[in-house]
Structure 1
Amino acid sequence: MMKDAPFHAELADGPVGARAYWMQTEDGLRIRVAHYPGPQEAPEAKGTVLMFPGRTEYVEKYGRVAGDFAEMGYHTLTVDWRGQGLADRMLPDGRVGHVDMFHDYQTDVAAVLDAAAALALPRPFYLAAHSMGGCIGLRALHEGLPVAACAFTGPMWGIRLPGPLRSAAWALGWGSARVGLSHVYTPSTGPASYVATETFETNQLTGDREGWDYMQRQVNAITDLQLGGPSLRWLHQALAECLALARMPSPAMPCIAFVGANERIVDVPRIIARMAAWPGGHLETVPNGRHEVLMEDAATRRHITRQMVEVFEGRPCDGQEALSA
């Protein structure tokens, strides 16, 4: 059953009339979904974008993206995954990004689809997914997510880690449960929110000052949105899921993916390999883009959302169109 949830429209800067709702997952957790409205009349509404956010993210962060989709005829439905945003946190220390099993996120996906049905959102559905959401989304596609096409930005199909840290992450992950350390932060991380504490000059997310300020305003105004580093369990589960997905074929549906030329967080070779094997898939590199290409300047964001919609609507994307840098 859906119940009204807090939503901070002034921070989201999205379409007028957006609302958030609590949804209960099958395993008893409370997550938050948000509906950003598109055209209200059926002839004008072209469908609904299911926006799957990344780790640490929350529904308000995609207000401007939803505004682009609304201008092009689409509703947007997005989510606070378990353990982040205003959804139930998984541990007494709510700043730890944690999940018991990576597949648990698919239970959240099911709740998102329940919300779409309860709100009678227009079909067809389309997937747009960022970073961790790209990992969750790819698994959901393999499990029958009812979308007609998909798009990814900086998808977490692999995590960029130095060799020694990767080996340590596997070893620590396997052993953490046996010694009761699954819940502890991964080495070099802690409870501090990256966006709240990093400087613009040194951040790895966006090269656009206004985009950085947009994200920072949100987490500083609503400190409950802040999330720190991942747990050992999360990292181990994420690495295992990326490895499992790498062994699976690309789904047979239209797809476009974007990766920043200055990507430093996810594994770019994995993205290149996946998209090269995706039937009819298209990969576009965003000049000067960092990890969050949808948080770069407005012209870049609109270019990306427009390219996504072209794929959703079955039109060939123009990969040669110039991007603002």
Structure 2
Amino acid sequence: MEQAPLFDHIADGPQGGQAYWVHAEDGVRLRLAVWRGGAAGTVLLFPGRTEYAEKYGRGAAALARRGFTTVTIDWRGQGLSDRLLSERDRGHVDRFTEYQRDVAAMLAATESLALAGPRFLIAHSMGGAIGLRSMIEGMGVKSAVFSAPMWGIRIPLLLRPAAWALSAASRPLGFDGRFTPGTGGESYVAATPFETNELTTDAEMYAYMRRQLSTEPDLALAGPSLAWLHEALCDSRELARQPAPDVPAVTFLGSAEKIVCPCAIVQRMEQWPKGRLELVEGARHEVMMEGKTVRRRFYDAAASLFRATGGVMPPPPRRFTHSAVEAT
């Protein structure tokens, strides 16, 4: 594997983070980031649509303080991984199952890097859809924690038939690469002021995300293509038909969720024999980007589940300074 850039100055991750170029089986070049922690195990962190490794630097630091190594990826079409259209501002994928090729490359790299301990999964939004399919298909993780997983997209009832029809017609008619109506050519975080954003109630974490994109604009991604929308709708429908994997899981859902479909999440977790739903009052779409108290709750719950399912003893107590990063 070749070294890839990792923008430590905007990530706030643990010291010694590294990034690598890896290739999926179809030749797409992907960026992988690794922040080593203790020997408690390795967390595969599956990000959401538009996201990139540096966004989870603070999350990797929180996991490192709990004894875990973090590995994350820029999915095809976003971050520094290969963009799939000449118009690099739009999120696109030809088939949603192509993300499983990215997962396979990520797992192979994890083996090559000889990362310590059992494997666990943290997956957010689109990463939650990718992660659930990976688990159903036999990805070997001991347990999983989901954050607002995209097991359904929140679309008003009256607009759902139009969303299906327009996205399905886009490929035969040759406009599958166009933006989904209502989205455009600028990153949501860059274009949306904090006061009206649907991602987080925490101003400091929102500023952290905005600062990353203003400092390294090549990481930014705008709205999804019509092909992405159709594939996402089809994938959600197909996943809903699949039984829950026989793996312990906890799912966090904010009560103010407006991006993914809460009903699909509740239904899935009600049918997950080893699953538990954690409702976070007042939180928006990105629980891992909420305030310190919510972030601490999330990472404490993840570490507790991972230790219980991975046979890991709790780490000895440690003392930290009260910085914004270390507070979680």
Common fold: TM-score over 0.5: yes
Unpaired runs of at least 5, structure 2? 310-328
1:31 paired with 2:25, answer: no
**Secondary structure at the counterpart of residue 9 of structure 2:** helix
Task: Supply the distance in 1 between the matched residues of 2:167 and 2:291 (Cα, whole angstroms).
Answer: 38
Task: Supply the distance in 2 between the matched residues of 1:280 and 1:244 (Cα, whole angstroms).
Answer: 21
Query: Counterpart of 1:110 in structure 2: which amino acid?
Result: A
Q: What is the deviation of 1:288? A: 1.0
- Tell me what 2:52 maps to: 58
1:278 paired with 2:272, answer: yes
One of 78, 86, 90 as aligned partner of 1:92? 86
- Tell me what 1:298 maps to: 292
Contact kept? 1:158, 1:267, Cα under 8 Å? yes
**Secondary structure at the counterpart of residue 277 of structure 2:** strand
Task: Supply the distance in 2 between the matched residues of 1:175 and 1:81 (Cα, whole angstroms).
Answer: 25
1:122 paired with 2:122, answer: no
Using the size of structure 2 for normalisation, the TM-score is: 0.93
Segment of structure 1 superposing worse, 168-177 or 265-274: 168-177
Q: What is the deviation of 1:107? A: 0.2
1:72 paired with 2:71, answer: no
- Tell me what 1:219 maps to: 213
Using the size of structure 1 for normalisation, the TM-score is: 0.94
Query: Counterpart of 1:78 in structure 2: which amino acid?
Result: T
Q: What is the deviation of 1:123? A: 2.6
Unpaired runs of at least 5, structure 1? 40-44, 316-325
**Secondary structure at the counterpart of residue 100 of structure 1:** coil
- Tell me what 2:142 maps to: 148
Q: After TM superposition, which residue ranges in structure 1, 4 or more long, deviate above 2 angstroms?
A: none
Task: Supply the distance in 2 between the matched residues of 1:180 and 1:123 (Cα, whole angstroms).
Answer: 47
One of 227, 232, 238 as aligned partner of 2:232? 238
Segment of structure 1 superposing worse, 179-188 or 163-172: 163-172
Contact kept? 1:254, 1:280, Cα under 8 Å? yes
- Tell me what 2:323 maps to: none
Mapping for residues 12-23 of structure 1, pairs under 5 Å: 12-23=11-22
Mapping for residues 306-325 of structure 1, pairs under 5 Å: 306-314=300-308
Contact kept? 1:254, 1:312, Cα under 8 Å? no
**Secondary structure at the counterpart of residue 148 of structure 1:** coil
**Secondary structure at the counterpart of residue 77 of structure 1:** strand
Segment of structure 1 superposing worse, 295-304 or 90-99: 295-304
The count of corresponding residues between Structure 1 and Structure 2 is 310
Task: Supply the distance in 1 between the matched residues of 2:274 and 2:209 (Cα, whole angstroms).
Answer: 34
Mapping for residues 1-12 of structure 1, pairs under 5 Å: 2-12=1-11
Query: Counterpart of 1:261 in structure 2: which amino acid?
Result: S
Q: CA RMSD in A?
A: 1.1
